[in-house]
C-alpha cells in the first residue's frame, strides 16, 4: 500500500514502507511544511524552476539528506542554492530517463510550460508495491499523454486544473481520457486568486467525458491510501 498526501498547490508526498518522496515542495503554511518532513524524506522531485515549485527543495535536502531528482539545468541551479552535489541523482537527468530510489522507479516526462532553468517536466513514479503515479507538473494538454496511457497502467494522475498558467478543468478532464488513469487528484487550484477556486467544474467535465475515472478531491494536508 502507498499513501499520497496533498500538501497544497503542486506539492505531494508519496509514502510506502520502503520509500518517501516529496514533489514540488512549495508550502503556503508552516503546518504543511512540517507535514512534508514527518517521518523521513528519501527523495525530493522538482518539476521545473519556478518559485512555487522549487520552494523548500534545497532546504529539505540539506536538513534530511534526501536525494534530489530534477532535470539537468534545474539540478545545477538547485546545487547553487545549497543542495550538495553528491545528493543530486546523476547530477540531473532528462526526458525519458528513469532513475531508482529505494525500490521506486521515476521516469521523467515532458511538460509544456516555462522554467527559469532547464526545461519543465513531469514524472511517472512506480512505487515499490507497483502503484503507478503520474505527476504532470505544470502543463497544457498535449497529445503525447496518450503514449503514457499506453506505456504505463496509471493508477493515479496528479493534474493541474486551475487554468491561466496550466490546463483548465475541461482540458484536464480530457487528459484523464488520454492517460486512461483510474484515479485523478486535481492540483494547482485555489492557491492564488487568479486560479480556479474549486474543482466543481473539473468534476463535471470528468463525469461527462471520462466516467470511469474517479476524482479524489482533497484539501491541503489530506492523505489517501492506494493499493494495486
Q: Radius of gyration of the chain from Cα atoms?
A: 16
For 42-55, what is each residue's pLDDT tens digit? 999 999 999 888 99
Take residue 212 and report the three cell numbers written for it: 470511469
Return the percentage of the chain with pLDDT > 70, whole number. Answer: 100
- For the CA atoms of 225, 216, 149, 206, the dihedral, rounded to the nearest 10 degrees, stands at 170
- Ramachandran angles phi, psi of 173, nearest 5°: -65, -40
Cα dist. 154→60, 89, 169 in Å? 28, 24, 20
Q: What is the C-alpha separation between 113 and 119, in angstroms, rounded?
A: 8
For residue 109, the domain's CATH number is: 3.60.15.10
Instruction: List the domain range (segments joined by +) for residue 92.
Output: 2-226
Q: Which run of H or E residues covers position 170?
A: helix 169-179
Q: How many domains does the chain have?
A: 1
Residue-by-residue DSSP string for 144-160: THHHHHHHS--SEEEEE
Average of pLDDT values for 194-217? Answer: 94
pTM for the structure as a whole:
0.96
For 52-82, what is each residue's pLDDT tens digit? 889 999 999 999 999 999 999 999 999 999 9
Pairing type for strands 104-110 and 121-126 reads antiparallel
Which has more confidence, 174 or 195? 174
Amino acid at each position: 500500500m502507498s499513501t499520497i498526501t496533498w500538501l497544497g498547490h503542486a506539492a505531494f508526498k508519496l509514502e510506502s514502507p520502503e520509500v518517501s518522496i516529496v514533489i514540488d515542495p512549495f508550502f503556503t503554511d508552516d503546518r504543511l511544511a512540517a507535514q512534508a518532513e514527518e517521518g523521513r524524506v528519501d527523495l525530493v522531485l522538482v518539476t521545473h524552476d519556478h518559485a512555487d515549485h522549487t520552494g523548500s527543495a534545497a532546504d529539505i535536502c540539506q536538513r534530511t539528506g534526501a536525494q534530489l531528482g530534477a532535470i539537468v539545468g534545474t539540478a545545477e541551479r538547485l546545487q547553487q542554492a545549497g543542495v550538495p552535489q553528491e545528493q543530486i541523482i546523476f547530477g540531473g537527468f532528462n526526458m525519458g530517463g528513469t532513475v531508482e530510489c529505494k525500490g521506486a522507479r521515476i521516469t521523467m516526462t515532458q511538460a509544456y510550460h516555462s522554467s527559469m532553468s532547464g526545461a519543465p517536466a513531469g514524472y511517472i513514479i512506480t512505487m515499490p508495491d507497483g502503484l503507478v503515479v503520474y505527476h504532470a507538473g505544470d502543463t497544457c494538454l498535449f497529445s503525447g499523454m496518450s503514449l503514457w496511457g499506453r506505456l504505463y497502467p496509471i493508477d493515479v494522475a496528479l493534474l493541474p486544473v486551475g487554468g491561466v498558467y496550466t490546463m483548465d478543468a475541461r482540458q484536464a478532464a480530457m487528459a484523464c481520457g488520454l492517460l486512461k488513469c483510474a484515479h485523478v487528484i486535481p492540483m494547482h487550484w485555489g492557491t492564488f486568486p487568479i486560479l480556479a477556486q474549486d474543482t466543481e467544474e473539473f468534476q463535471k467535465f470528468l463525469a461527462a467525458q471520462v466516467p470511469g475515472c474517479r476524482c479524489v478531491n482533497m484539501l491541503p494536508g489530506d492523505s489517501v491510501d492506494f493499493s494495486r
